[in-house]
Amino acid sequence: MKKLTGNINVGVFISGRGSNLKELIKYSKKNNTNWKIKLVISNKKEAKGLAYAKKNRIINYGIENMKPQFEKKALRHLKKNKINLLCLAGFMKILSKEFIKKSKFKIINIHPSLLPKYKGLNTHERAIKAGDKYAGSTVHYVTAKLDSGKKILQTKVKILKKDKPNSLANRVLKAEHIIYPKAVDIVCNKII
């Protein structure tokens, strides 16, 4: 990958409320980062996170097509906006091998578990059922294999005796808000 100078253009894929997106935007504005969020794409036109992107004058699209059409349109927007890094933030679709291969930029994801444990869904419920002492969150590079890319950052959250999946999920989400922007910093410093 060619080294860049100046601002790194970051794209974000979301599916819902966009709480990690909000934290990435806030962090990039508050800190002297070498990156900025230039584009937000959701696979749901009514995703609340799109409204937050609009409010912050960030180019945004809701594309509700099935996988091949979504990926084709999204890739066109990513290339048009010269995106150097794509962040998946609560994006509830698995990207195809073809999309990952055609992407000429890094792709990272935040996953609500201490990978390699609990890839996929229902991570908090699985951690509680297993009697784990800690849950957490991992930012990792996206590869064709689900939740298996190289780890960038990871944070632990203690599982309390009274925890239910929802209460644990809320605490893990707060931890995600802290580590995701830091992970973007790490990746962008490697791109420049």
Residues carrying an active site annotation: 111
Within 10 angstroms of residue 44's Cβ, the number of other Cβ atoms is 16
Residues 6+ apart with CB under 8 A from 121: none
Distance separating alpha carbons of residues 101 and 143, to the nearest angstrom: 9
Q: How far is CA 72 from the centre of its chain?
A: 19
74: region left, alpha or beta (phi > 0 left; psi from -120 to 50 alpha)? alpha
Give the CA distances from residue 116 to residues 20, 160, 170, in Å, rounded to whole numbers and listed in that order.
21, 21, 21
d(CA 49, CA 9): 18
SS3 184: helix
Contact status, residue 6 vs residue 36, Cβ threshold 8 Å: no
